[in-house]
Chains A and B, each alone.
Chain A
Amino acid sequence: MAAVQGGLVDAVEEKEIKSEPPNDGSGNSNANDGRLLSPSPSSSASAGSNKSAAGAPEDQQTLLAVLQFLRKNKLTESVEILRREAGLPEDSPDSKGSESSGAGSGAAAGSADSEGGDVSSLLSRVTGSLSSAAPQAPVKASGEDQPDVNVVLSAYSQQGDPALYGVYYSGLKRFIESVLDCHRAELSQVFYPLFVHMYLELVYNNHENEAKVFFEKFSGDQECYYEDDLRVLSGLTKKEHMRANETLLDFRTSKFVLRISRDSYQLLKRHLQERQNNQIWNIIQEHLYIDIFDGMPRSKSQIDAMSGSLAGEAKREANKAKVYYGLLKEPEIELPLDDEDEEAENEEGKPKKKKPKKDSMGSKSKKQDPNAPSQTRIPLPELKDSDKLDKIMYMKEATKKIRLGPDNLPSICFYSFLNAYQGLTAVDFTDDSSLIAGGFADSTVRVWSLTPKKLRKVKSAADLNLIDKESDDVLERIMDEKTASESKILYGHSGPVYGISFSPDRNYLLSSSEDGTIRLWSLLTFTCLVGYKGHNYPVWDTHFSPHGYYFVSGGHDRVARLWATDHYQPLRIFSGHLADVTCTRFHPNSNYVATGSSDRTIRLWDVLTGNCVRIFTGHKGPIHALAFSPNGKFLASGATDGRVLLWDIGHGIMIGELKGHTDTIYSLKFSRDGEILASGSMDNTVRLWDATKAFDDLETDDFTAATGHIHLQDNSQELLLGSYMTKSTPVIHLHFSRRNLLLAAGAYNP
């Protein structure tokens, strides 16, 4: 890391990080625009020009709303820039702005205009945009800009007879129940978003009693996995409350995405047109994004597997981008030491010939993995001598690695935190299993040595001057023997520490806390080096890149941020989640970052471009654990629903579901060779799953890959290799040692 802090930094900045870090968390309106809106802004800008006639006014409407917001906040410069770029005439916004000043009534009128228009033209708009296959980003998704709340909500101001809502809804319900079985499951997807939006419309228009009746009548019909959202919804009965409720704003600003086959969609469309059911049709147009595909309608189980997120499924286009999931080539280490190790390896490795062979195949082959990103796609720190030494150690250890499999399960060691009355909130191990760190609810971070080697601080500057810098054991001499102890406590945060992560070289430790900061600690001096501020809200998780230098963090502000240790501001802001980012993980090749969120989706972000390249839906609860397989091809995720889902990153599809846990999964880890997946949960068990089998059984034909329709077999029981009870201790972290011994950690609290 020290190497990076030298001249490389400039190169980093100039070459790759094109967009400079944003000025501040608050002043993001302008600077972030380009980067924030994942893939949509660029495409929407280009799509905006060739939009159909019906789309244009709405687009303009949004721009006006943004302008209004900017003007309100006295950001005249930004107003000018935006106006120039959007090509809006000087006077028109003014007049329109004044017109719409009355609580967004202008905007409402505008949208009402467009909706009042011919239904068929609206239809053509939807179908047109779909057939052109250009991702016509939902325009209102610019919600990340914090648009005027009134404008966002005003779309609900369309008036219908409140008493008829129930009639409309039950009419549609009757229709969908009467269609053929194969279509029913697909069309049933419409129920939930429709229900929510109709309810919100009622609430927004102050029909409190009708809303309550409507809710009571139909909330029971919704899928059970929406229960949590419905509970939030049931509490909301006043228009005033809608303004501040972020969950609902998200629901409103992002279109709920449904995937429906063309046949089913035609059925629905015909029905609604026949019945002149404009109320429902308007909602579908306004708030739903229907992703139409050709082919067989999906079955109920197929749909259920993918649904459950806050904003419906991912659009197919969202998972089409190419992801370089391959591993980077391991640097070749040519050190005199290497030969000795080679010999040692050979001596000890003889009984098991396979491993050294595999090593040479894996890391020493000159061939570049076709799926791997180029070595310099993102700049990585140069290896220091100590890193090389560590690599050698790693390779030596790897030769002694136990080959795991269904017949050869790992031994499990449990690290119990005793007397942790203050509350253990996060745990991490170093890669070589020599240190363990715990984050606690009392704002402290504690580090323990797991080897007989005690933790020592570096001597003070005055003492360091006295030592002989030429001596061979200078690294030993700089340590202050008087400070040796089994554990060290790091004070600095002012709130519970929710995430911690060791740097790969074991010199640094990151901790993220409720106080809104991430702190970088030196494990040489056991002091805080940097406090990274930017989230301004609780930071739920942080994770070091496997190559060091970079790290990612995610928090309550619903964005994930990419940082470099030597920059006090983030290099990238990954924005798109509709709720808190609850966990963050780096891909083994450091080119991608995965984030899990309470909106029940997982997103994969490209570190280079800042774009969201994958959206995985299917979890029914907030996601609290993520793990990449060591080969970088797969991702495992665990959530409060107690299920582990497996994802194929390359194809962007779900490939497995592991059921068994009965409580939140807080930890997931693949064994060193990826044969076993271990999951740890609040239900006091560690479970081992046969990852090899789960991935091998996969038949990803072209159709599945193209449509994203998955057929999951319910084979959790076959894949479950073992379930191991702890001693009344929830498992909050798992780690495989370099020899494939499974280490688990948790706090025992009677």
Chain B
Amino acid sequence: MTDREERRFAEVSRDSVKLMAESAGVELGDDVAALLAEDVCYRLREAAQSSSQFMRHAKRRKLTVEDFNRALRWSNVEAICGYGAQDALPFRSVKEGELFFVEDRDINLVELALATNIPKGCAETMVRVNVSYLDGKGNLEPQGTVPSAVQTLSDDLLKYYQQITRAILGEDPHLMKVALLDLQSNSKIAALLPYFVYVISGVKSVSHDLEQLNRLLHMVKSLVQNPYLYLGSYVRSLVSSVMYCILEPLAASINPLNDHWTLRDYAALLLSHIFWTHGDLVSGLYHQILLSLQKVLSDPVRPLCSHYGAVVGLHALGWKAVERVLFPHLPAYWANLQAVLDDYSVSNGQVKADGHKVYGAILVAVERLLKMKALSLSQPAEGGAGGQPGSVGGGLGYRVSSPGLSPPPEPLSEAALGIASHLQAGGAGCPWEEWTPVPLPDMYKELYSFFGDSLAVRFSTGPGFGCYPPCTPSLPNEARKEPPGPASNPETTRKMPQLTANLNISPRQDGSPRTDPPPPSLAATGRSLARSSSSSSSSSMQRSRSSSSRSGQRSAGLSRDVFPKSRFTSPQTGPPVFSFLIGGRQMGRRCQGRRPFQTTFLPTPPLSAVPPRAYAHKLPVIGRVGKPVRRWACSHYSLYLPL
């Protein structure tokens, strides 16, 4: 039995005790510290032991802070305040100092007390009865499912739900816009959240219908942006629906005329948005996402459109994700892609076109990877634009957050390199432990061997990212913005005509310091958004939830929000522009003599052209009696049972 197995409880080290003593202004000798440490460990275990009793009697499986505090109180120890929140505590570390600490933010009590975005419409505690088993056998509903009436809805809510879903999935684009807008600003729909999440989980049943998928994704976006909703564990469900749209070989993609690529792009943006704003609600979410993306990417049986989804997904999650997952996979993947691209048979035409899509997506991803990596090396100090501590750190990020809590809890204050922190997370249960970053020159060399000259890395073109968001928000985007024609770009003109793919995102002029350049902001949701809900961007300005003073604070990069929900702001001006252009000719070392080609996306047909939705009929109907079974029919709704 190893020492590690034997130790089944937390231990406080001597050094920790000394450190604590120091911070309290006491010098401790080694022996005293050792004694104290041991005693602390023992007391800790004792308290944990007795707190488990409170858990058992509360008939729970999860030990809560409250249980622990009760145990403390009954052993005449002062309770520890401030840890009662449901949210996970961000556990941070300073890598260099091997110092780990729980982030202790200042909370503006006035703001907290006067906060108006308290969720309303939470349903009351109630008892509902249903007949589970008749005569011990006739199980009326499948075993192990969730109660049918998790929330009991008032008539108003029910009506609202029906109207909203009908509007969003219906045929009137204007109605849809209004509905989406309301969904994203209504403060009283907490009780409906499970239903909406359920509706959204219907993506799997409409994979043949791009338009419906699109609308459902917009619904996700509206829910995510609603500051009054606490998504909690529903984040997982939403993420899985979005991931479905990114990764699955949708039925709609069988027809090459269907522009499922845009859908995937949009879903990828949405994914990164959910992750950045709500990732802290589900521990380990980031790694789960990365793992599933990696799985798809490394599965050669999957169609190319799935691979494309994985690549854009990684791209959307930031350059670190690309470095972590895509880059190591590239050599293996390249061979497959190469085979597809080198096949000139007519029957392969469609697959080949798909292959080029993937190629383009990979190129864009690695390009930004190189760019950001170079930037992170060259300007580490300025990276901490928001005044982050540890700006003296090396080129690879400053903070390592614990693995379970990868996503930073407040992307608002996240520095340009903040995303690095997730990827450096290592520790128990983390499959990324063995990963070591590849130095930039090697990376460039390797990538060059794949892409050749197409690898258009525009180093140091802009005035620098260092003073990015808060100071000159528009600069980086300016720097990255590329005119459609290659000729106008000084870098690209040097090179051969080539395949370039460029995600072009309009500058956000609001000065929102929300995030670094890597994850493309959902604020610029791109063409798909502009297409299907062109007014949503302008209307998002009118959202009432964020007071101007608050957003002003935000842009200063100083305030941290108390409510995780109201964290995300992306008011924007001007219509977002999103263009995806793949053109030119391949002149890479490995793909010489490829025919020039150009792909442009057809504008998707207007909404009215879309046939009436069949999906609307598949909606779960709330309030319908499951199965009228003899006299128990109304048992769901009344407590009365003729006993």
Contacts and interface: CB of A to CB of B under 8 A. Distances in A.
Contacts of A413: 129-132, 635, 641
Contacts of B132: 412-414, 724, 726-727, 744
Interface string B42-60: 1001100100011011111
A580 B137 CA distance: 39
Interface in A399-451: 408-425, 433, 436, 438, 440-441, 446, 448-451
A312 to B, nearest CB: 22
A422 B56 CA distance: 15
Contacts of B147: 416, 418, 727-729, 748
Contacts of B42: 235-238, 241
A416 B136 contact: no
Nearest to A498: B57
Interface stretch (B1-9, B91-99, B552-560): B1-9
Given A423-B60, A728-B146, A750-B146, A412 B131 contact: yes
Nearest to A746: B59
Interface stretch (B118-126, B247-255, B406-414, B540-548): B118-126
Contacts of A414: 129-132
Contacts of A451: 639-640
A684 interface: yes
Contact of B57 (A220, A416, A425, A446): A425
A155 to B, nearest CB: 22
Interface stretch (B149-157, B338-346, B502-510, B577-585): B149-157
Interface string B141-163: 10111110111100000000000
Contacts of B101: none
B74 interface: yes
Contact of B59 (A448, A537, A538, A730): A730
B39 interface: yes
A419 B1 contact: no
B588 to A, nearest CB: 51
Contacts of A624: 56
B116 interface: no
Contact of B56 (A412, A452, A664): A664
A412 B137 CA distance: 10
A46 interface: no
Contact of A411 (B133, B150, B194): B133
A240 B60 CA distance: 33
A446 B38 CA distance: 45
Given A415-B127, A448-B127, A514 B54 contact: yes
A396 interface: no
A29 interface: no
Contacts of B134: 411
B152 A418 contact: yes
A582 B132 CA distance: 30
Given A423-B58, A732-B59, A727 B144 contact: yes
Interface in B414-445: none
Given A418-B152, A423-B58, A684-B144, A237 B133 contact: no
Contacts of B45: 235
B46 A245 contact: yes
A750 B135 contact: no
A220 to B, nearest CB: 7
B23 interface: no
A556 interface: yes
Contact of A682 (B39, B41, B61, B125): B61
A730 B55 CA distance: 14
Contacts of A495: 70
A486 interface: yes
B350 interface: no
Contact of B6 (A216, A238, A556): A216
Contacts of B133: 409, 411-412, 722, 724
Contacts of B146: 727-728, 748, 750
Interface in B205-238: 233
A231 interface: yes
A225 to B, nearest CB: 17
Given A231-B8, A235-B9, A235-B42, A415 B129 contact: yes
B128 interface: yes
Contact of A417 (B46, B56, B127): B127
A273 B60 CA distance: 51
B639 A449 contact: yes
Interface SS majority for chain A: loop
A419 B127 contact: no
Contacts of A737: 643
B136 A722 contact: yes
A750 B194 CA distance: 10
Interface in A722-750: 722, 724-730, 732, 737-739, 741, 744-745, 748, 750
A721 interface: yes
B139 interface: yes
A108 interface: no
A232 interface: yes
B12 to A, nearest CB: 13
A501 interface: no
A487 interface: yes
A238 B131 contact: no
Given A238-B38, A241-B42, A684-B144, A232 B49 contact: yes
A418 B146 CA distance: 11
Nearest to B70: A514
B125 A537 contact: no
Nearest to A417: B127
Given A245-B46, A409-B137, A425-B58, A450 B125 contact: no
A748 B125 contact: no
B68 to A, nearest CB: 14
Given A417-B127, A418-B127, A750-B233, A411 B135 contact: yes
Contacts of B635: 413
A222 to B, nearest CB: 14
Contact of B639 (A237, A238, A450, A598): A450
Contacts of B61: 682
A415 B144 contact: no
A622 B635 CA distance: 37
A440 B126 CA distance: 12
B74 A441 contact: no
A264 interface: no
Contacts of A425: 57-59
A496 interface: yes
Contacts of A640: 56
A745 B127 CA distance: 9
Interface string A192-236: 000000000000000000000000100010000000000110011
Given A416-B130, A446-B125, A582 B57 contact: yes
A448 B638 CA distance: 12
B59 A728 contact: no
A410 B123 contact: no
B64 to A, nearest CB: 9
B39 A238 contact: yes
A419 B122 contact: yes
A495 B58 CA distance: 11
B123 A496 contact: no
Return the 9 tightest CB-CB contacts between A and B, nearest first: A409-B136, A725-B143, A235-B45, A412-B133, A725-B144, A419-B123, A414-B132, A737-B643, A727-B147
13 contacts: A232-B49, A240-B39, A409-B133, A414-B132, A416-B130, A448-B127, A538-B57, A538-B74, A666-B59, A682-B61, A727-B147, A738-B643, A750-B194
Given A449-B639, A622-B56, A682-B59, 11 more contacts: A413-B635, A414-B130, A418-B128, A418-B152, A496-B58, A582-B57, A598-B53, A624-B56, A724-B136, A728-B146, A739-B643
Interface of A: 216, 220, 231-232, 235-238, 240-241, 245, 408-425, 433, 436, 438, 440-441, 446, 448-452, 486-487, 495-496, 498, 514, 537-538, 540, 556, 580, 582, 598, 622, 624, 640, 664, 666, 682, 684, 688, 721-722, 724-730, 732, 737-739, 741, 744-745, 748, 750
